[in-house]
Amino acid sequence: MTYRYVIYDLQKSFNASFDDADFTLNQILYWVMVVANRMRLQQTMATNTDLFTSTFSSIEVKTDSKGRKYIDLPVQIMDLPNNSGVIYITYNEETCKCEGPSFAQVWFQGVNLGSVQHLYLDEYTKPSAQNPYFYRIGDHIDGVKVNRIYLLGLECVPVKDVEIAVKATLDPKTLCNLDEDIPLPQELIQELMMQVLQLGRFVMMMPQESSNDGEDGSEVDSRLYANRSASLPDSTTQQTAQ
C-alpha cells in the first residue's frame, strides 16, 4: 500500500467530517509517519520480526579526540531494551564462509555505557578484538549533537569499517516519493488509518474555550464555573438520607 493511497484516502475522510478544515497532505503524511513508527516498534516488540531490519555493509570506523573508536549511525534506530535496535555489528570481512557469515562468528555485543566498567572485571567478559562490544551515545558530546556507536575491544587493532544491521525508524524528511510503499505489513494499514483518523479527530474536537485565541491578558472564561455550586451534592440531603 503506497503513501499516496493512504494519505488521499485519509484526507477525503477528514474532509467528509470537517469540511471547513484545512488538512494538508504534508500534515497527514507526518501523522502517518508518526503513527507508523509507533506501530513498527510495537510490531517488533510483539513478533521480533526482521521486517524492519536494514543492513549497511560498510560503515567507516572513526577515532574521536580521545582515541576512542566509533561509527556514526547511518539512520535513526528504534530505542529497544538493551540496545536491541542494533541487531549486530560485525567485522567487514568474511573470514571463513564455510562456517557461515561473519556476523554469525564474531559480533559486537551491546552494553550500556554504565556497565562498561563491569565488563573489565571478568576475564571472560573483558572486551577484546575477539570479544568486542559497543555502546551508544545518542545525544551530545561536548555540546555537539551526535548519533554514535562506540566500539570496545578494538583499541589496539586497526579496523577500517564494520558491517551493521539495525531496526530503523522512519524519517519524514527522507521521504521523496508518495508512491513508495508504507513499510508496514498490509494487515496493519487499517490500524494505521484508524489511528491517524483518531489523531485528526482529536485535534478537530478540541473545545473552543480550551484553544489558544492568541490574545494576551484576556479574561478567564468563567462560564465553566458559573453553576458549579449548584451542581455540588447537597450534603444536608445526604445526611438526612443516612
Partner 1 sequence: MNSNDYVSIEHLLAEVTATINDTDYKKGFPKGWYISRIQDAMQELSFDTFWLKVQQDEIFPESCQIEMPKNTFNIREIYMYTGSLCNPQKTQMVYWKRLFNNTADGTGYTAQVKDDGSNGSDIYQPNQRVYTGNMQGFYGPKYYYNVINGLIMFSKECKGYEFVRIIYNGMGVENGDLPVIPRFFERAVVDYVEEKFYNAMKARDPRTYRPLWTDAYQKLNDFANGSWNKARKRIKSMDSKEKASMEEYISSMYHK
What's the Rg (C-alpha) of the chain? Answer: 27
Residues that bind partner 1 (CB under 8 A): 81-84, 87, 109-111, 119, 122-126, 131, 133
CB of 122 to partner 1, least distance (A): 5
Whose Cβ is closer to partner 1: residue 123's or residue 213's? 123
The grid coordinates of residue 79 equal 530505542
CB of 51 to partner 1, least distance (A): 16
**Close Cβ partners of 76 (under 8 Å, ≥ 6 residues apart):** 147, 168, 169, 171
CB of 156 to partner 1, least distance (A): 17
Q: Summarize the chain as % helix, strand, coil (round to 5).
A: 40, 20, 40
How far is 16 from 24, CA to CA, in rounded Å?
14
Whose Cβ is closer to partner 1: residue 121's or residue 230's? 121
- How many H-runs (helices) and E-runs (strands) does the chain carry? 6, 10
Whose Cβ is closer to partner 1: residue 110's or residue 200's? 110
**Close Cβ partners of 201 (under 8 Å, ≥ 6 residues apart):** 17
CB of 173 to partner 1, least distance (A): 29
Whose Cβ is closer to partner 1: residue 120's or residue 198's? 120
For strand 69-72 and strand 144-145, is the pairing parallel, antiparallel, or unpaired? Answer: unpaired
Whose Cβ is closer to partner 1: residue 90's or residue 195's? 90
In this structure, how many other beta carbons lie within 10 angstroms of the beta carbon of residue 141? Answer: 13
CB of 43 to partner 1, least distance (A): 17
